[in-house]
Structure 1
Amino acid sequence: MGKMSITIASTLATASLFFGLAATQSSSGYASCSSTLSASHAAPSVAEGYVARLVANNLTSPRGIKFDGQGALLVVEKNSGITALTFNDAGQDCLTVATRRTVINDTTLNHGIEISSNGTTLYASSPEAVYSWDYSPMSQTNISAPQTLVANMTTSDHTTRTLLLSQHAPGLLVVTRGSTSNLDAEAEDLATGHSQVKAFNLTNQTAPYNFNTDGLLLGWGLRNDVGVDEEPISGGIYTVENSVDDAMRQGQDIHQNNPGEELNFLGYLNGTSSPNQGRNFGYPECFAAWNVSAIPDFSGTVGSQFAIGALNSTVNDTTCDDANRQAPRLTFQAHMAPLDILFNTEGTAAWVTFHGSWDRTDPVGYKVSVVEFANGEPVQASDSMTAAVDIVTNQDNSVCPGGCFRPVGLAWDNQGRLFFSSDATGEIYMVLRADGNATSTVGSNATGTVPSATSTSGMSGTSSSASATSSSAANTGSMSALAVIFGVLVFLL
């Protein structure tokens, strides 16, 4: 071997060592934390440009979550009560639980939670009632006995009562109530209060409201609208609905991909007129199409409503047209079970948790997605099948529901970081932008913050794993090392 060959070989070996070292060093970037927490199952996959970190565990079926004014995360632990978590931040958004306190010890509480704008009144719900307590954010304690605000809501099957305090109409509390069975015939009767969303005025209340007879009706025929939020710019009320299981039509089983889950628009609380407010949204007669080709004798499009069962002169799709029933604003894949919707403050995005399917051969859902908004409504048309873009997913849905996280509640902290609960695993995750910007700034693809609906996931992110930024840094380091190699070779040759 000649001297030049030996020199080149030596240079290549040195550069190769440098190349590997550079790649190793740059892979431990923004998302690297020293937390000892590890996910109950496989760590989440995240879309390019995002990071998901596990920040709390060992909770009892955490459902609704909400930050108080002092930065404590209030968590409804189903059939246990409400717990307050405070966090230590070690920098670079590396959070660990600092304290854990019981705020409310009540085994009937199961999902809904809200807090007043001044932070001193806490609201929560059981299957039967909505309650309030005086609350101290300084000590994370309730300082009063519970007061019953809304009652007479007990049903079987769908027992969550989600709560929302309006920002556009202060004093109004929105309460959602689902059906008492898969196909609840009583929901056809407005007087039963089943499958309805109502608003109640707390400013002049003198006694508990009766859900069946009191309140402002925002919508009915809503099978199980668990998630509800107010679009921050226009004040529009949007809900996400869990649709029917085991659907049949004309003797054919169509339940694998129909009917779709729904995003519904219920009008406004601030006095703005809307034909949607108070309308019948279809259930238990009418449902939104997802896989149109699988529905026999149907000529509609995605999102248009159809009747199930054996069609006849009184049960048919005419009953379900726009003149008789209000169709959803968007439709999602059947059985994904949306449980929460949360807008950012700019109204450019709505985040949705999909708890995941049980009534489908191939599991779907088990993820957190984002829907882009503009001018008070979704950017995409009502027949879109790509409006919900996946951000945090399970690596392998085939192991679900038993072997994966199942998202439920959503909350923003005061830094614009997104948190979600997973009831099946007793965990809380935080979702970050890998570029360091707040997650709450997501929206408008002009800024590139919403990934393409066809982009692939696969970036793992927990408190101890690398983010898309560190991956990008590794690529940059690799390219730099290659540049060194080629530069040296050019010089020698």
Structure 2
Amino acid sequence: MRKHILIVLGLIVLVAVGIFAWLSWPDKARLDVQEVTGQRPNITAPRSQIIPTVKVADAIGWPAGAKPTPAAGLKVERFADNLDHPRWMYRLPNGDILVAETNSPPRGRSFVDRVMRYLMGRAGAGVPSANRITLLRDENGDGRVDFRSEFMTGLNSPFGMTLFDGHLYIANTDALVRVPYEEGATKITAAPEVVVKLPGGENHWARNVIPAEDGRTLYVSVGSASNIAEKGLDLERRRAVILQVWPKEKTSRIYAAGLRNANGMAINPQSNQLWTVVNERDMLGSEIVPDYLTAVELGDHFGWPWYYWGGYPDKRVEPGNPQLQQYSKRPDYALGPHVAALGLTFAGDVKLGQRFNYGAFIGEHGSWNRVPPSGYKVVFVPFTDKGWPVPGSKPVDVLTGFLDADGKAMGRPVGVIGDRTGAMLVADDVGNVIWRVTPADAPAAR
């Protein structure tokens, strides 16, 4: 009899949980995205979800003749197309552009892996990784690529790229590697040399690399293996961090931690300081947690997985870490919830006129789990001439129109850099295009 009673009670609990989950799904935003941006975002109470909100913008590509919408006073044209999931770019000293055509390594076979593979496929991220770096060259200076070559192949989900001390460094998902480089080269066949191994994997797989301010070391970003360490903290060793790497010695250390998924990194030319954009956690509702832009110093810890936005506890994480709360650093600038901030470059590298003299350009790949969707655009965060975000400012739209009237994704912006003229290049991994943004009154490129 007692056994039957326990079974009935268990079924009642399961039904109650199911009803609660059904009633609370999908979670719909109650605040406008702008209210969760800037230096003082509205951090509301969490609405924990059993079933995550899923609002995927189905990827359809660009209809013939269509393109994104630039801000007033700017214009946009195609720089290159017919690419294979272009995610990241790097400008070589002679003006050539390297583009990483890349994607996640193959996912596992668990139920969650299969669900994520399905969702990412709808969002345009389900294609196999080309594992290729392509060189793009505008030979006649008209702002359009007229020469391209297969620069490197056989890589493993490559993302970040940088030149340093006569070598080209590539951040594969599982290792920072390098090859000798000679200016003007259009193809590299040398076998990559491993500098440091990195924890690889399909979740938050993209690794970035840039030279540090000291001229001797490199910064390498490594995302978490999970949302909030639900797979165990052992799996998160040397993850959710920015590493500092000594290339000659092939050694590294953790420079900053608690960064769930830092992708874009750049040195602010005004302050010669490292800044990054970070994707924050999911399943606390459509209002939080905001992705962010922040300066990073040695020893910083931004709280993940235990805390967010400078000390708000995430009570889902066990075991807790109460000692960390007072040391959890608050980010400098919120970009809005679930916008998927990936690309980052500063004014100076990009020159779009006086309105954009000081500040950061950010590629927001767009949400898959917010109602209504957020991101899907390139924004500008204005800075003062002292090198910090303007007090009270909000992100300024620079390039929009990536979603059509039905909410389907014609494109999704990722990396943003400047070309040799100061025009902004935007990698669009759904449209398979690189867009070129210039002032509307700019003379034709030459």
Q: Same fold (TM over 0.5)?
A: yes
Q: Which amino acid aligns with 2:394?
A: A
Matched, 1:278 2:278: no
**1:187 CA drift (Å):** 8.2
SS of residue paired to 1:333: strand
Give 1:431-446 correspondences, 5 Å limit. Answer: 431-436=437-442
Q: Is the 8 A contact 2:339 2:364 kept in 1?
A: yes
Work out whether 1:125 is the aligned partner of 2:171. yes
Matches within 5 A, 1:74-223: 74-78=98-102, 79-80=129-130, 81-89=132-140, 94-116=142-164, 120-142=166-188, 144-166=190-212, 168-184=213-229, 192-202=237-247, 204-205=248-249, 208-209=250-251, 214-215=252-253, 217-223=254-260
Confirm or deny: 8 A CA contact 2:228 2:317 kept in the other structure.
no
Contact 1:307 1:320 in 2 (8 A): no
Q: 1:266 aligns with which of 263, 281, 296?
A: 296
What amino acid is aligned across from residue 63 of structure 1 in structure 2?
A: R
Match of 1:69 among 77, 86, 93: 93
**Quick one: structure 1 residues 234 and 437, their matched pair in 2 at CA, closer, same or farther if it must change by over 3 Å?**
farther
> Which of the residues 264, 268, 271 maps onto 1:231?
268
Q: Deviations over 1:201-237 (max 9, x none)?
A: 22x32xx44xxxx32x321011001111111232211
Q: Distance in 2 between matches of 1:112 and 1:238?
A: 15
Q: Please give the residue correspondences for 1:370-385 in structure 2 after superposition, counting only pairs within 5 Å.
A: 370-381=380-391, 384=392
Counterpart of 1:419 (choices 425, 440, 443) is 425
Q: Deviations over 1:176-209 (max 9, x none)?
A: 001101111578679811100011122x32xx44
Q: 2: CA distance between counterparts of 1:354 and 1:397?
A: 16
Alpha carbons of 1:187 and 1:376: their partners in 2 closer, same or farther (altered >3 Å)? farther
Residue 287 of structure 1 aligns with an amino acid whose one-letter code is: Y
Residue ranges of structure 2 left out of the alignment (5+ in a row): 1-61, 103-128, 350-356
Kept after mapping to 2: 8 A contact 1:190/1:220: no
Q: Distance in 2 between matches of 1:264 and 1:398?
A: 33
1:354 is aligned to 2:370 = no
**Deviation for aligned residue 1:67:** 1.4
Contact 2:70 2:399 in 1 (8 A): yes
**SS at structure 2 position matched to 1:95:** coil
AA partner of residue 439 (structure 2): R
Question: What residue identity is the alignment partner of 1:183?
Answer: I
2:400 equivalent in structure 1: 393
Contact 1:363 1:397 in 2 (8 A): no
TM-score when normalising by structure 2: 0.72
Task: Provide the secondary structure at the position in 1 that maps to 2:151.
Answer: strand
Aligned-pair identity (%): 25
In structure 2, C-alpha distance between the alignment counterparts of 1:163 and 1:39, rounded to whole Å: 34
Find the residue that maps to 1:234 and give its secondary structure: coil
3-state SS of paired residue (1:362): coil
1:339 corresponding residue in structure 2: 342
- Does the CA-based 8 Å contact 1:40-1:425 persist in structure 2? no
Aligned to 1:4: none
Is residue 2:404 matched to residue 1:408? no
Secondary structure of the corresponding residue to residue 137 of structure 1: coil
Given that 2:376 and 2:403 are in contact with CA atoms closer than 8 Å, whether structure 1 keeps it comes out as no
User: Secondary structure of the residue that 2:327 maps to in structure 1?
Assistant: coil
- Alpha-carbon deviation of 1:334? 0.3
Q: What are the ranges of 5 or more consecutive residues in structure 1 without an aligned counterpart?
A: 1-37, 248-254, 268-276, 289-303, 440-493
Deviation string 1:104-160 (CA, Å, 9 cap, x unpaired) is 11241331111237xx42111211001111123323222632111110422341111
- 8 Å Cα contact 1:432-1:438 kept in structure 2: no
Report if aligned partners of 2:261, 2:280 keep a CA contact under 8 Å in 1: yes
Q: Tell me which moved more, 54-63 or 152-161.
A: 152-161
1:260 touches 1:332 (CA, 8 Å); kept in 2? yes
Q: Number of aligned pairs?
A: 350
